[in-house]
Structure 1
Amino acid sequence: MVTTPNVDDNEVLEVLMAATGLPRPHLKVGRATSLRKLASGKIDYASLQARLLAPRQQMAMDVLDAFRNAFYPRQVGPSDTFETLGGDSLLYVQLSLTLERQLGSLPEGWETMPLGDLARTAEPRNHSRSIDSQLILRAAAILLVVIHHATLWPIPGGAATLVMLVGFSLARFQRQRLFAGDTLAVLRPLAANLALYAPVVAGFSLARGEVLWPSVFLVGNLGFTAPPHMMPYLYWFVEAYAQTILLWVILFSIPQARRIAHAMPLVSGIFVLAIAVAAKFLTPLVWYIGGPQIFTLPDMLYLAVLGWCLYFLDTPPKRKAFFSVIAILCLVLAWWGGNWTGSWVKFMLVLGAVFVLLFIPHITLPGWTARLILPVSAASYHIYLFHRVIPDWLLPQLDLGTHQPAGPAAAISIGLASGLVVFWLQKQLVGWLAYRRASLTLPL
């Protein structure tokens, strides 16, 4: 506790670090005009300690509240970690946004830290932020999706990147549960995400006067029927995401497959990747449904498996060799996919995302840039679900649907805003429910 007004905090910290041998995260400087004293004239160390501990205790409560809101209705305690609570990629993104605001910066590997320890890592905000590259990729991917759907620009790589991130996130956050056969824990986040999708399906069903059964059963992307008897094709990602998770659950429900994957995650992953790539090339020969083929599970599964494999490349030589192979594969796929601008853009974007995940795990950005990117990344799923709902209804009413560039600009802005608003509303609702639950469990 410093009472001298003209002393810089950093100077005090340097003295404390030299005197105590403790690292910076374990030291904190507080300020006061004077120190309270006892009747004997000695410093009241008890009140001083309480004053110093109060911000830390409040920070611990804030971190706990953030996790309780994110994992509602599960019970959360100081010894829990993001991984032990069963966090998935979307919760990782959302909590990254919240914790970055609370702690000033996120320590590397925070998802494996007990919450009590995580709360003690709070640091003053810097002008720059080191951001997990996965968060930046997610924000860039959803922005590409929104722009692609609002314009005629040939930039179809956003959804492909999101599919790859599904596999990468399964390996990063769910591998231990999959290896242990705890498939219920893997299905829980899927159920939560589909609960948000259900009102969208219900809304389209009401608007069209019929139950869109293919979309209800998450098979609309398989070509059994076509709009208007199903959701618009742009929702294929949700169905493919659900099918991918279910496929992983089925595979890891087989004890022998689970043991092999646990013992040799990279080798087994590459084996499955080879099968998935073969399925992409061979499936149209026996089951061809035309343009919607690109939305089917056999056509995009290799992207999720690719993401899974990327996580287990743990040495630079492996990463370089694997990247070289994927570069060749992307060139082949770009040519095989029609050899047109959109195909080349798509697979070069995928290759770029692979490069980032392999070689640039963190990216340092100015603070203001991070504050723009993180909310978009956290709300990426919500943006995907709602980015066309309001524009498709509103813009024709305003006669802006075909106006360039006002129409696309309005569609992009409204689409992003719609998802961000829904994300904020969901956070408020879950936070209120968590608060109500905590209030009801408090002793009288």
Structure 2
Amino acid sequence: MTLPLEIAGVAFAAGLARHGDRPAILNGARAVTYSELAWRVQDFAHRLGTSRRLIVLAADNSIDALVAYLAALSGGHPLLLAPAGNPAALASLVAAYDPDVVIRPAAGGPGANALELDEVRTGTIHELHPDLALLLSTSGSTGSPKLVRLSHSNLQSNAESIAEYLGITADDRAMTTLPMYYCYGLSVINSHLLRGAGLVLTGLSVVDECFWQLFQNRGATSFAAVPYTFELLDRAGFADRDLPTLRYITQAGGRLAPEKVTRYARLGRSKGWDLFVMYGQTEATARMAYLPPHLAEANAGTIGVPVPGGEFRIDPVPGPDDPGGPVDLGQGHHGELVYSGPNVMLGYAQESADLALGRTVQELRTGDLARQHANGLFEVVGRRSRFVKIAGLRIDLGQVEKILAGLGLNAACAGTDAGLMAAVEGTHDERMLAKTLAQELSLPRAAVAVHAVAELPRLGTGKTDYPAVLALAAVSPGSGKPPAAAVPGSSTGARGTGASGTAVVLGSGPDEDGTDPAAGGSPEDVKRIFADALEREDIGDDDTFVSLGGDSLSYVAASVRLERALGHLPANWHVTPVKDLTPRGTSQPKRRLRRIIAPLETSIVLRAVAILTIISTHIDLIRWPGTAHILMAVAGYNFARFQLDGQRLPRLRRQLRSLARVILPTVAFIGAVMLLLGDKFHYTTANLFLLNTMIGPAEWTDAWHFWFIEVLVYVLVGMIALLSIPWAHRAEKRFPLVFPVALVGFGLVYRYNLVPVDILHTRPVLWLFALGWALARARTWPPRLALSILAALTLPGYFDDPWREATILAGILMIAWLPAIPLPRVLHRAVAVVASASLYIYVTHWVVFPDFKEGQPELAVLLSVAAGIAYWAIAVRIMGAAERGQSRLWRRWKARRRHTTPG
């Protein structure tokens, strides 16, 4: 059916133009005025049509998503917000509610048509209540079909209430630290647009130095934080930052420890900004209470007073011995906190038929147990139901137990706002189960702990002893205590996604890992760095980075953070036990210098410089051949450091996993180019199977673009196969330096054409790969000197290009003699990111630069680097998700097998 648009819409969304030319949206590149924003919103509203329809928006913190959000609100279209980065959640909501229009980020990325608008139908099949404006999931990013129905007046009144108690004016500018689809993040947007204030749109984390540069450049006055954000602020050295425009910080999304409230309130008082501790639920649009900043230090455990226009009361709930009396939690009588106000939702929706309902809820029973102090402030002291709220996500503990039961496990779950604890009967891989739960619940890995027990703890009545389950957090391996959680879908610190889906910190600012770079760190700091880089919790004092599964793909992030934590990068840190990674004392002048300039591992710098030189040479911006062969030596150097530790079979699995991380993204990209751009880039089936170097044409064509990766794969496959042979494995273990030196000799046989057959066309690189391997094994200066002389003697004459040969020799000598290169700290993150993405930059740059090579070579280089970094971020996320899915399927298969096997 088709319903004409007769709904006035939400006032703050429909009245943007009244703020004129004031800046509305700011990011690193540009500013959008309210007049321009109003025009864009009106234009997008025309695209949505003249009939009222149900719209689903997969939202991120982008201008285009914000325009679509405001267009729907101003036009009166009921809007369902979903996370842009969670296709499964979006698909679940679409299946449950059958929207008329689906809006999602387009595959092409930012631009004029950055959003894909899928019109399922021109009208609507739904009966949509006139008051219905917005639908938000009660469980954050999980795609649960249970939604909160919010009205136009809910959104408007809560925005006005928040703007009133925060004192928001048109001169304020808020950083968007939280995702737009999360009610807390959305409330920041609504309240600032109401007052004509500015929004600094970003997806950066507070541990990213670029976040603070953007904050200062745009004169931001506030940002929103969840409890985990304050841990990241501690790591990022927030207390030492000079932020003269900062006016206040808001906190919600879970309970912040009272001692932390006190500390940050005191810090704000000394720095000239306020801390607003707040309390809310999606069912109340966003906010129900706030703690006035001047009361925070003395009343740090409270949630404060109701927001303007709202009211609290405390209803008695039955206690264990008094069915009609209030519950007693040992601190006096408490009851359930009940809230009423104009921001209370219309009610819940479980299916599309519920969208026709009007108001079914008059007040909100929060499920929280609370008391009111004599000074009028309210304090939440516990929960009435089996729900916890972790980083803004409401988690049904009973549902978690059902998930585990579906895996064939007998489990009991408990939790707090800090994290989730699951006790599981039997012997299990606790770390893998925790990863599986985190994935299923869309929680950060650090917020979930699992403890295997012989029997679930029981009370005398036979019921599960949930307090005892929660107490297991104190003894759970690798957990220590219920960890703090991060908000769903937000940047929880410094995290760009690694190959396993884990986030790895690549921040450039000081103190990003929680320690003073001049003061050094402790073994616990090292464990945290390794846990972040490798997504492992079971890290002991005797473990090393390599023994924990670290490889050349994850060591970049770990090494950058480790250098900051310890004040230096120890030699052979990757094979040094955690307990032996200790800080080095330095004098005060050296400490000050280290805050500006610090060493970065040579192999990291070489990877970054080499890839930039390679693409600049291909684009004809410069001519500097030879750096690709330096990367071959670096590959051998890292192969020896990260792929040769441990027993033969576990080592083989690790080597094959790392090899797959080279092959899969390369083959996927080649296949995509062949499918989409086959008429422009003439790649062949041989390219798809990385065989062009062996069977391709002799002359240079597009098919030779990937020779470097093909030959590297040949060498890696050959070395992995060789070391899988038991006698070769034993020989390498017994003669760690002689073994690669022998390989150097084998490579030189082909380098000098002493044997006419070139095995797999590896002649140009095999001896360089083996030379890098040998240098990694050369512990003292005599063998390093001998290998350096060998390189100096064997390189001249091979390429008939003295400049190229000198470049390769210089790179090899740097690997041999220069452990680290001093660089300004501000460059560390950029260098680390480029080094991490070097493979992906090489793979993608052939497709990116041709259209810009002739007229804009500098732009061609920048676009090539950006495209490679983007592909790196996407590819490692996909591969990480695949690895997690494989692990989950494996556990389910094992669980089913246990139940179907007799005995």
Asked if residue 413 in structure 1 is aligned to residue 875 in structure 2, the reply is: no
In 1, the alpha carbon distance for the partners of 2:579 and 2:779 equals 29
Contact 1:56 1:120 in 2 (8 A): no
Q: Which amino acid aligns with 2:645?
A: Q
Greater shift after overlay, 421-430 or 152-161?
A: 421-430
Contact 2:643 2:651 in 1 (8 A): no
Q: Which amino acid aligns with 1:310?
A: L
Equivalent positions of 1:322-337 (< 5 A) are 322-331=787-796, 335-337=797-799
Q: Which amino acid aligns with 1:412?
A: V
Contact 2:563 2:569 in 1 (8 A): no
SS in 2 for 1:387: helix
User: Of 537, 546, 554, which residue of structure 2 is paired with 1:77?
Assistant: 537
Q: Which residue number corresponds to residue 6 of structure 2?
A: none
Q: Which residue number corresponds to residue 277 of structure 1?
A: 748
Q: Which amino acid aligns with 1:77?
A: E
Q: Shift of the alpha carbon at 1:110?
A: 5.0
Equivalent positions of 1:97-136 (< 5 A) are 99=561, 107-108=569-570, 111-112=574-575, 126-136=595-605
Q: Shift of the alpha carbon at 1:85?
A: 3.7
SS in 2 for 1:232: helix
Q: Which amino acid aligns with 1:86?
A: G
Greater shift after overlay, 410-419 or 66-75?
A: 66-75
User: Of 208, 212, 218, which residue of structure 1 is paired with 2:684?
Assistant: 212
In 2, the alpha carbon distance for the partners of 1:308 and 1:359 equals 14
SS in 1 for 2:779: coil
In 2, the alpha carbon distance for the partners of 1:227 and 1:324 equals 35
Asked if residue 193 in structure 1 is aligned to residue 656 in structure 2, the reply is: no
Q: Which amino acid aligns with 2:678?
A: R
1:363 to 1:58, Cα distance in 2 relative to 1, 3 A: farther
In 2, the alpha carbon distance for the partners of 1:286 and 1:146 equals 33
Q: Which amino acid aligns with 1:300?
A: V
Q: Mark the runs of 5 or more structure 1 residues left unpaired by the alignment.
A: 1-7, 10-29, 38-49, 396-400
Asked if residue 286 in structure 1 is aligned to residue 746 in structure 2, the reply is: no
Equivalent positions of 1:5-404 (< 5 A) are 33=266, 69-72=498-501, 76-79=536-539, 81-96=544-559, 99=561, 107-108=569-570, 111-112=574-575, 126-151=595-620, 153-177=622-646, 182-206=651-675, 207-208=677-678, 212-225=684-697, 232-282=703-753, 286=756, 296-331=761-796, 335-338=797-800, 343-392=801-850, 394-395=851-852, 401-403=853-855
Q: Shift of the alpha carbon at 1:232?
A: 2.9
- With normalisation by structure 1, the TM-score equals 0.70
User: Of 424, 436, 441, which residue of structure 1 is paired with 2:873?
Assistant: 424
Q: Shift of the alpha carbon at 1:82?
A: 3.4
1:246-292 C-alpha deviation (Å, 9 max, x unpaired): 10011112222222221112112112211101112217x7358xxxx
In 2, the alpha carbon distance for the partners of 1:275 and 1:437 equals 39
Q: Shift of the alpha carbon at 1:384?
A: 0.8
Q: Cα RMSD over matched residues?
A: 4.7
Contact 2:751 2:763 in 1 (8 A): yes
Name whichever structure is richer in strand by fraction: 2
Number of aligned residue pairs: 375
1:35-88 C-alpha deviation (Å, 9 max, x unpaired): 999xxxxxxxxxxxx9xxx9996699x999969954348972231653134332
In 2, the alpha carbon distance for the partners of 1:312 and 1:245 equals 18
Name whichever structure is richer in helix by fraction: 1
Q: Which amino acid aligns with 1:196?
A: P
1:320-379 C-alpha deviation (Å, 9 max, x unpaired): 222122112222xxx2422xxxx2222212211111111111222111122331211111
1:67 to 1:390, Cα distance in 2 relative to 1, 3 A: closer
Contact 1:78 1:115 in 2 (8 A): no
Contact 1:164 1:307 in 2 (8 A): yes
Q: Shift of the alpha carbon at 1:426?
A: 3.9
Q: Shift of the alpha carbon at 1:299?
A: 2.4
Q: Shift of the alpha carbon at 1:184?
A: 2.3
SS in 2 for 1:299: coil
Contact 2:849 2:860 in 1 (8 A): yes
1:81-138 C-alpha deviation (Å, 9 max, x unpaired): 53134332122224445x46995967535534778998999x9982222211110011
Q: Which amino acid aligns with 1:259?
A: R
Greater shift after overlay, 168-177 or 63-72?
A: 63-72
Greater shift after overlay, 128-137 or 426-435?
A: 426-435
In 1, the alpha carbon distance for the partners of 2:883 and 2:728 equals 38
1:234 to 1:197, Cα distance in 2 relative to 1, 3 A: same
SS in 1 for 2:599: strand
Contact 1:64 1:78 in 2 (8 A): no
Contact 1:154 1:345 in 2 (8 A): no
Q: Shift of the alpha carbon at 1:427?
A: 5.3
In 1, the alpha carbon distance for the partners of 2:298 and 2:712 equals 59
In 2, the alpha carbon distance for the partners of 1:390 and 1:140 equals 19
In 2, the alpha carbon distance for the partners of 1:287 and 1:434 equals 39
Q: Which amino acid aligns with 1:208?
A: G
1:55 to 1:86, Cα distance in 2 relative to 1, 3 A: closer
SS in 1 for 2:823: strand
In 2, the alpha carbon distance for the partners of 1:414 and 1:190 equals 27
SS in 2 for 1:353: helix
In 1, the alpha carbon distance for the partners of 2:687 and 2:673 equals 10
In 2, the alpha carbon distance for the partners of 1:434 and 1:325 equals 42
1:337 to 1:116, Cα distance in 2 relative to 1, 3 A: closer
Contact 1:78 1:116 in 2 (8 A): no
1:82 to 1:231, Cα distance in 2 relative to 1, 3 A: farther
Identity among equivalent positions (%) equals 24
1:298-323 C-alpha deviation (Å, 9 max, x unpaired): 22211111111111111112212221
SS in 1 for 2:764: helix
Q: Which amino acid aligns with 2:746?
A: I
Q: Mark the runs of 5 or more structure 2 residues left unpaired by the alignment.
A: 1-238, 241-261, 267-296, 301-417, 419-479, 503-533, 585-590, 892-903
Q: Which residue number corresponds to residue 92 of structure 2?
A: none
Q: Shift of the alpha carbon at 1:212?
A: 2.5
Q: Which amino acid aligns with 1:416?
A: V
1:64 to 1:158, Cα distance in 2 relative to 1, 3 A: same
Contact 2:498 2:877 in 1 (8 A): no
Using CA pairs under 8 Å that are at least 6 residues apart, name the structure with larger relative contact order, 1 or 2: 1
Q: Shift of the alpha carbon at 1:220?
A: 1.0
